Amino acid sequence: ELKVEQNPLFLSMQEGKNYTIYCNYSTTSDRLYWYRQDPGKSLESLFVLLSNGAVKQEGRLMASLDTKARLSTLHITAAVHDLSATYFCAVDATSGTYKYIFGTGTRLKVLA
Amino acid sequence: NAGVTQTPKFRILKIGQSMTLQCTQDMNHNYMYWYRQDPGMGLKLIYYSVGAGITDKGEVPNGYNVSRSTTEDFPLRLELAAPSQTSVYFCASSYSRGAPNEQFFGPGTRLTVL
């Protein structure tokens, strides 16, 4: 059974600081997705990582994928308050089936 | 495009009642999904569909049923509602051919079973 774990679960950080969120998964997969959820809202797609070594960047967020280590990271550079949200990674449970298993989520709070 | 729409937005059910949560997408996506999200938790896959007429169980299918008679619609049926089904339900869709297959989510249905 595929397990997807994120850490930390909660993260409180000061504006301007850098931090990394980790997503570990337990079985082989070459597709990994990052989503953002604002409180009381739905999820929106941030990044799609489709191969080993893939790196995507959007603004202050950068995501990477290491399929050999079964690890993805979401790096936050110079955090701002608007990045406060919950971030989820999701993995294709069996490669190519599009049956996604979500991680536990990381609740990020950026303090002004 | 309206994207993924869900109705109702909110609903309160009594134990033992039944209801159908509606989900429609207008992006011609072949894959559709139902998730539940309990307070402060991640998403759990209930059922998914790879196309009209084809459905399969996810992680937590017990107490739910689905059907997919058209590409656009993927209703979720709750039979004999129980308090454990109190949750926020999200419908999502994705396209499996060529595109990166990211999921697009509906706004959610907040369900309370009393």
Q: Within a 10 A sphere around the Cβ of B47, how many other Cβ atoms?
A: 23
Give backbone dihedrals phi and psi of B73, rounded to 5 degrees, phi first. -115, 140
Weakest-pLDDT range from A85-89, B4-8, B38-42, B66-70: B38-42
pLDDT computed for residue A99 by the predictor: 79
pLDDT tens for the 112 residues of chain A, in order:
788 999 999 999 999 999 999 999 998 877 899 999 999 999 999 999 988 889 999 999 999 999 999 999 999 999 999 999 999 999 987 655 667 889 999 999 999 8
Binning pLDDT at 50, 70 and 90, where does residue B25 land? very high
pLDDT computed for residue A29 by the predictor: 78
Q: Rounded CA gap, B57 and B55, in Å?
A: 7
Which tokens hold the place of A14? 């000061």
* Residue of chain B with shortest Cα separation from A34: B102
Are B100 and A104 inside 8 Å of each other by CB? Answer: no
In the DSSP assignment, the letter for residue A93 is S
Q: Rounded CA gap, A62 and A54, in Å?
A: 11
What share of chain B in percent tops pLDDT 90?
84
Return residues 65-94 of B near A (CB < 8 Å): 90, 92, 94
Is A11 in CB contact (< 8 Å) with chain B? no
Q: Considering CB atoms only, which of A42, A101, A105 is closest to B105? A: A42
Distance in Å, alpha carbon of B61 to nearest chain A alpha carbon: 13
Of B3, B16, B20, nearest to B89 by C-alpha is B20
Is B33 in CB contact (< 8 Å) with chain A? yes
DSSP conformation letters of A21-48: EEEEESS--S-EEEEEE-TTS-EEEEEE
Is A42 in CB contact (< 8 Å) with chain B? yes
Binning pLDDT at 50, 70 and 90, where does residue B107 land? very high
Q: Considering CB atoms only, which of B42, B94, B107 is closest to A42? A: B107
Q: What would the mean pLDDT of B80-101 be, rounded to a whole number?
A: 88
Are B44 and A102 inside 8 Å of each other by CB? Answer: yes
- For residue A48, list chain B residues with Cβ-Cβ distance below 8 A: 100-102
Q: What is the largest distance, in Å, between two alpha-carbon atoms of chain B?
A: 44
Distance in Å, alpha carbon of A48 to nearest chain B alpha carbon: 7
**Beta pairing, strands A106-111 & A10-14:** parallel
Higher pLDDT, B1 or B7: B7
